[in-house]
């Protein structure tokens, strides 16, 4: 499948993938936004996004879980007190296909979620869905409600139907403490509807976007400068802000904001750099998911129960370094049905490492064999994972050995999955942070209850996770070094090239001497 074009069916063998998908793969020198616009108009490429372009998109459930894990992680890292979440305020923007998960995640985590969205249709959908609890169009009434929610320590999601810049600036002028802040506007497409200028209505912006795109771009960039200025003021008052990997800081810098450190990194970390990378990815934990092909809720209920039983056993034997991850995801899977996050396919997601993924998949396969699960189950993962994505401002942002701009890991992952048993594999340019900014890949594997499948899932899932752990360990990330050592203990045939830690003083002395 070439960027949506069904090239053909080619003879192969029973152990080969049934499909190989590529989206947006181009020669590197032709991978900027203008190139995409031209090639897309010609019909020769497509913007595959991530899982959406490889048949593993399961609706916003995945981002609900990821955002929940992020909020829990940042609270444990940075907020003080025995139980600091109740009464804490999480401020962000976006109630679209992915960003719409934020309100639900805030409530599951146990804090006050405050989300701005300028599109009235998106606000209406999330409110009717129950993923935001209350909608406000006037800032004074909204701010009063926020004060009450914080004082009463409510777990509630509040939506502001309006521009996010107005909301940040109103909070700057208020007495309200904002403990946690981020942004999920679609800044991978900032000038084609992903971000709307302040001081204009939604309708006025859409008209200008069509009639005068150059002026629209200018207004977007001016709004970004006001946006980041308000963020800076709130951070000075104690807000913990992180970039959610949507290119917010990148586009602010392109608009002229002075937000770069001397080493070229931004003053605010990516959520992967600060939270998800060191707490999850380095230890091999990432978004494992499955879809029940029967389409029956009872099958999903059975898989939830089986996954919970497996997680309980893993919690009991997990080392201290990863026990909390298992506990968080055990709580998640036990509450999954009650949280009503299924949209379309009967699908589920949880975070696990290679050990957990293999154990859960093997348990599903056995349940299919004995008829406890009625039909085959497809397993996969988000591309936003330990190994699947090379993205310097998101998935690989906590890799500091100079390789954050390389894409060997994602390409190797796709190739390795293809001959270890995946039913299909995919490799994409673009997704999340924009075309030319990321290479990412994924897979799907059909569990049919067979012995062959049991062998394939053990081989492929082990590689699919530990490829990325090995790369992160080579970059000398402490969590990954621990995880890859443990992986080699559990699998004696696994041999990983380990990094040698140099004495910084020797390196500094050698460099200084060379310039004498």
Residue with tokens 């590197």: 28
Alpha carbon distance 274, 221 (integer Å): 26
DSSP per position, 403-433: -TT--HHHHHHHHHHHTTT-SEEEEEE-SSS
Helices (H) and strands (E) in the chain, counts: 18, 13
Residue 72, CA distances (Å) to 236, 312, 483 in order: 22, 20, 21
Alpha carbon distance 513, 492 (integer Å): 43
What is the reported pLDDT for 182?
94
Query: 89 with 167: CB under 8 angstroms?
Result: no
What is the reported pLDDT for 499?
93
Alpha carbon distance 51, 55 (integer Å): 6
Query: 394 with 272: CB under 8 angstroms?
Result: yes
Query: 89 with 73: CB under 8 angstroms?
Result: no
Instruction: Go through the chain and tell me how many residues it has.
Output: 516
Alpha carbon distance 91, 114 (integer Å): 5
At 49, give phi and psi (nearest 5°). Answer: 50, -140
Torsion of CA 379, 383, 387, 389, to 10 degrees: 160
Whole-model pTM? Answer: 0.87
What is the reported pLDDT for 121?
96
What is the reported pLDDT for 76?
86
Q: Which domains does the chain have, with CATH numbers?
A: 85-269 (3.40.50.10730), 280-490 (3.40.1770.10)
pLDDT tens digits along 452-490 = 999 999 999 999 999 999 999 999 999 999 999 999 999
DSSP state at residue 186: -
Alpha carbon distance 27, 9 (integer Å): 25
Which of 259, 292, 283 has its CA nearest to residue 469?
Answer: 283
What is the reported pLDDT for 343?
81
Alpha carbon distance 23, 427 (integer Å): 7
At 440, give phi and psi (nearest 5°). Answer: -145, 155
pLDDT tens digits along 190-208 = 999 999 999 999 999 999 9
Alpha carbon distance 516, 513 (integer Å): 5
- Give Cα 409 to chain centroid, integer Å: 17
Alpha carbon distance 160, 327 (integer Å): 34
What is the reported pLDDT for 471?
97
Q: Kindly give the parts of the chain with pLDDT less than 50.
A: none
**Long-range contacts of residues 70-74, Cβ cutoff 8 Å, at least 24 apart:** 70/105, 70/242, 70/271, 70/275, 70/276, 71/105, 71/106, 71/109, 71/111, 71/180, 72/109, 72/328, 73/275, 73/276, 73/279, 73/280, 74/180, 74/240, 74/242, 74/271, 74/274, 74/275
What is the reported pLDDT for 287?
94
């Amino acid at each position: 499948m070439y960027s949506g074009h069904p090239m053909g069916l080619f003879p192969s063998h029973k152990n080969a993938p049934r499909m190989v998908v590529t989206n947006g793969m181009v020669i590197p020198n032709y991978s900027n936004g203008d190139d995409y616009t031209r090639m897309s108009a010609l019909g020769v490429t497509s913007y595959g996004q991530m899982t959406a372009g490889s048949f593993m998109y399961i609706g916003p459930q995945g981002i609900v879980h990821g955002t929940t894990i992020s909020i829990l992680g940042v609270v444990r890292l940075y907020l003080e007190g025995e139980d600091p979440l109740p009464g804490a305020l999480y401020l962000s923007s976006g109630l679209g296909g992915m960003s719409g998960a934020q309100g639900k995640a805030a409530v599951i985590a146990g804090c006050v979620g405050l989300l701005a969205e300028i599109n009235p249709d998106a606000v209406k959908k999330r409110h009717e869905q129950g993923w935001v609890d209350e909608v406000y169009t006037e800032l004074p009434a909204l701010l009063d409600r926020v004060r009450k929610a914080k004082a009463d320590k409510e777990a509630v999601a509040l939506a502001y139907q309006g521009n996010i810049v107005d909301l940040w600036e109103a909070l700057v002028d208020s007495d309200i403490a904002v403990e946690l802040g981020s942004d999920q506007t679609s800044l991978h497409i900032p000038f084609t509807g992903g971000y709307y200028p302040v001081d204009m209505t939604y309708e006025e912006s859409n008209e200008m976007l069509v009639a005068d795109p150059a002026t629209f771009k200018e207004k977007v960039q001016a709004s970004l400068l006001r946006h980041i200025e308000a963020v800076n003021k709130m951070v000075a008052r104690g807000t913990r802000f992180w970039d959610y990997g949507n290119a917010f800081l990148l586009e602010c810098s392109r608009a002229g904001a002075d937000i770069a450190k001397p080493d070229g990194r931004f003053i605010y970390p990516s959520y992967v750099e600060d939270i998800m990378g060191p707490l999850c990815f380095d230890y091999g934990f990432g978004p494992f998911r499955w879809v029940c092909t029967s389409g029956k809720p009872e099958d999903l209920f059975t898989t939830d129960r089986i996954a919970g039983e497996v997680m309980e056993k893993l919690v009991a034997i997990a080392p201290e370094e990863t026990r909390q991850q298992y506990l968080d995801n055990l709580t998640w899977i036990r509450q999954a049905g009650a949280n009503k996050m299924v949209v379309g396919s009967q699908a589920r997601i949880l975070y696990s490492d290679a050990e957990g993924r293999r154990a859960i998949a093997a348990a599903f396969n056995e349940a299919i064999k004995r008829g406890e699960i009625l039909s085959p189950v497809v397993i996969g993962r988000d591309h936003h994972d330990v190994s699947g994505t090379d993205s310097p401002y998101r998935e690989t942002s906590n890799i500091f050995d100079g390789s954050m701009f390389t894409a060997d890991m994602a390409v190797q992952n796709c190739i390795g999955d293809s001959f270890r048993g995946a039913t299909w594999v995919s490799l994409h340019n673009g997704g999340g942070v924009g075309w030319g900014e990321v290479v990412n890949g994924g897979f799907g594997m059909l569990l049919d209850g067979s012995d062959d499948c049991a062998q394939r899932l053990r081989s492929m899932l082990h590689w699919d996770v530990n490829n990325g752990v090995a790369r992160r360990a080579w970059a000398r990330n402490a969590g990954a070094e621990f995880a890859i050592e443990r992986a080699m203990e559990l699998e004696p045939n696994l041999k990983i090239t380990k990094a040698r830690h140099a004495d910084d003083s020797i390196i500094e002395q050698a460099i200084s001497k060379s310039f004498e």
